[in-house]
Homo-oligomer: A and B are copies of this chain.
Amino acid sequence: MIGAARRRLTSIAKDRVGPVVARRRPVRTDLDPATWGLSIGPAGTLCSGSVDLVELSRRYGTPLHVVRADRLAANAADAQRQGGAEIFSSYKTNPVPAVLRRLHDTGVGAEVISPYELWLALRLGVPGDRIVYNGPAKSPDSIRTAVGAGALAINANTVNEAALISRLAADEGRTVNLGLRLSVPGAWGGQFGIATIEAAAGAVRDALGAPHVELRAIHVHRGGTMRDASAVEAHVRWALERCDELRAVTGWSPELLDLGGSLACPTVASFPTREFRFNRALGTDLLAPDPSTAITIGDASVLATRLVGEHAAAAGIPMPRVLLEPGRALTGDTQFLLTTVLDVKDDGPLAHAVLDAGINVAEPVPNEYHQLFSASQPGREGDVHYRLAGPICTPADVLYNDWRLAPVAPGHVLAIMDSGAYFVPFSTTFSFPKPAIVVQDGDDVIEVRRRERFDDIVAHDDIEL
């Protein structure tokens, strides 16, 4: 009875409050498809350059990740702008070999956080001096591998780990390029980095006295996202102050200042929980971020480098090399996910469309703004409120709680934009195989990862046991 009463109250609130709130709140304006190089083609369907996305989805099946080689190259070029920092791609954000290979071909290095990612960087032919090894869970074997490969920096997460790295290098009789990660106060997990300058100073002294250690780097990663120049500047200045404090007590300055990642993807935004609640309960629109308010990766890189240079000049010390480890800013908007509408259910208070992509392949979508286009019917104004659910049989599998579209029908193809960050690494085989990935390079499309087959999912099981 309490459940029924609550539902009735919710229903009344929705009917009465919903329109009032909705009237007072701005209406979503879709970002322009041209932002991603998309346009409406001669067949009236959405095209990526010359490639018809509905045709593409028929050829490879959906869900399908499409990587735009040109956009990846453009982001890599912007990131490595003259006067900027050295760029290391965050492997965990987008670990697709075809993506990483293209980035490395432009000179981008590898930022790896696990034994597997270190293995992958070496497998892709990345030279040791273009590899930075981070993360809280480095195995002894992987540390030995990184030492042997001459990694540019192995950044210790804790004082204990710094000692372990020194010991392993001594065992191998090889010199290690060591870095120390410092905790950044605020939103980020306390599991990361050395918490105090006192502890870091102790680690600096130990490293300076260790025969097989070249102490090279300070590593700081802000976490969250830095969307504008002031956030970048505050982070850099904070890092430089910590370096000053360390220098004051140890006399040591880093040759490498690794400022981490956290740069925003301009077309993606997080929302306060309230916005999601309003969207879910009252059908108010989630609003697209204004991409022009995001600092470009190149501007951030040049700004950070300038600030570090000015600081070094003022302090009368050699300028350290500046490293950035962008993830979402580098690859987020270079990829999108095509999905097909499987069923439409219109017998309740809100229309539901069931898609063949859900949280199994698009985990970030319920918590961020990701522009959605109909590839089958682009450019049509739409005012049907849909809840867009995924295929896995759990109520949590909702990608968009309430999104206005022109009427959709089974077989329609939708494009979820900005699937280039955290979609692939967070994907599961929950009831469905993982999707294929293609790279579009001008008029050419090549399949770089094939769709999983059913028997792939149990390939490591002894199915008779």
CA distance in complex: A92, B426 (Å)? 18
Distance in angstroms from A388 CB to nearest chain B CB is 9
In chain A between 214 and 238, which residues have their CB closer than 8 angstroms to a CB of chain B? 223
A463 engages B123 (CB within 8 Å): yes
Residue in chain B with minimal CB distance to A352 = B191
Q: Which of chain B's residues have a CB closer than 8 A to the CB of A352?
A: 190-191
* Selected contact of A430 from candidates B158, B195, B425, CB within 8 Å: B425
The secondary-structure label for the interface of chain A is: loop
Distance in angstroms from A328 CB to nearest chain B CB is 12
* Selected contact of A454 from candidates B119, B427, B432, CB within 8 Å: B119
Q: Which of chain B's residues have a CB closer than 8 A to the CB of A460?
A: 449-452, 456
Distance in angstroms from A184 CB to nearest chain B CB is 11
In the complex, whether A183 has a CB less than 8 A from a CB of chain B is yes
Q: Which of chain B's residues have a CB closer than 8 A to the CB of A396?
A: 189
Residue in chain B with minimal CB distance to A193 = B345
In chain A between 149 and 175, which residues have their CB closer than 8 angstroms to a CB of chain B? 157-161
B161 engages A343 (CB within 8 Å): yes
In chain A between 40 and 98, which residues have their CB closer than 8 angstroms to a CB of chain B? 91-92, 95-98
In chain A between 437 and 460, which residues have their CB closer than 8 angstroms to a CB of chain B? 439, 446-452, 454, 456-460
Q: Tell whether A137 pairs with B354 under 8 Å between CB atoms, given A395-B223, A457-B116.
A: yes
Distance in angstroms from A409 CB to nearest chain B CB is 10
CA distance in complex: A448, B463 (Å)? 8
CA distance in complex: A456, B461 (Å)? 13
CA distance in complex: A27, B367 (Å)? 34
A92 engages B431 (CB within 8 Å): yes
B427 engages A428 (CB within 8 Å): yes
What 0/1 pattern do residues 190 to 210 of A give for CB contact below 8 A with B? 111011100100000000000
Q: Which of chain B's residues have a CB closer than 8 A to the CB of A196?
A: 347-348
Q: Which of chain B's residues have a CB closer than 8 A to the CB of A245?
A: none
In chain A between 237 and 289, which residues have their CB closer than 8 angstroms to a CB of chain B? none
* Selected contact of A114 from candidates B96, B344, B391, CB within 8 Å: B391
Residue in chain B with minimal CB distance to A183 = B348
In the complex, whether A120 has a CB less than 8 A from a CB of chain B is yes
In chain A between 333 and 351, which residues have their CB closer than 8 angstroms to a CB of chain B? 342-345, 347-350
Q: Which of chain B's residues have a CB closer than 8 A to the CB of A450?
A: 460
Q: Which of chain B's residues have a CB closer than 8 A to the CB of A425?
A: 428-431
In the complex, whether A299 has a CB less than 8 A from a CB of chain B is no
Q: Which of chain B's residues have a CB closer than 8 A to the CB of A135?
A: 391-393, 431
In the complex, whether A418 has a CB less than 8 A from a CB of chain B is no
In the complex, whether A7 has a CB less than 8 A from a CB of chain B is yes
Q: Which of chain B's residues have a CB closer than 8 A to the CB of A463?
A: 97, 101, 123-124
Distance in angstroms from A44 CB to nearest chain B CB is 25
B116 engages A191 (CB within 8 Å): no
Q: Which of chain B's residues have a CB closer than 8 A to the CB of A393?
A: 92, 113-114, 134-136, 192
In the complex, whether A176 has a CB less than 8 A from a CB of chain B is no
Q: Tell whether A191 pairs with B457 under 8 Å between CB atoms, given A136-B343, A425-B431, A446-B465.
A: no
B96 engages A190 (CB within 8 Å): no
Residue in chain B with minimal CB distance to A114 = B431
Q: Which of chain B's residues have a CB closer than 8 A to the CB of A459?
A: 456
* Selected contact of A187 from candidates B160, B195, B395, B432, CB within 8 Å: B395
Chain A positions near chain B (C-beta within 8 angstroms): 3, 7, 91-92, 95-98, 101, 113-117, 119-120, 123-124, 134-137, 139, 157-161, 183, 185-192, 194-196, 199, 223, 342-345, 347-350, 352, 354, 356, 387, 389-398, 410, 425-433, 439, 446-452, 454, 456-463, 465
